Amino acid sequence: MPNDQPPKFYDFIAQLGETKQAQVAYEKMADDSIPRGPMSLNAGKQDLPSGPIKSIDIPNNWTRTDHFDGGVGATVTFKAPGDKASINSLERTRPISDHAAQEFKKLLDGNDKLTSPKMLLPAQLRSLTEVLGSGQMGDNQYTNPEKYPSPNAPLFKLTNAQFLNVNGKTVVEVEGSYMDEKGKPTEFYRGIFAPSGKNGDRVNELFLAAPDQKELLSQESNYRKALKSVKWH
Per-residue pLDDT of the chain (233 residues; tens, 9 = 90+): 333 333 443 333 333 333 444 444 444 544 433 445 677 776 589 999 999 999 999 998 999 999 998 888 999 999 999 989 999 999 999 999 999 999 999 999 999 999 999 999 999 999 999 999 999 999 999 999 999 999 999 999 999 999 999 999 999 999 999 999 999 999 999 999 999 999 999 999 999 999 999 999 999 999 999 999 999 99
Q: Is 63 in contact with 77 (CB distance < 8 Å)?
A: no
Q: What is residue 43's predicted lDDT score, i.e. its pLDDT?
A: 57
From the list 52, 33, 66, the residue with the least C-alpha distance to 231 is 52
Q: Model's pTM, two decimal places? A: 0.84
**Strands annotated E in 85-168:** 86-92, 118-119, 156-166
Alpha-carbon distances of 3 from 6, 55, 63, 79, 146, rounded to whole Å: 8, 22, 11, 9, 34
Q: How many CB atoms lie within 10 A of CB 60?
A: 12
Distance in angstroms (rounded) separating the CA atoms of residues 170 and 112 = 6
- 3-state class (DSSP) for residue 10: helix
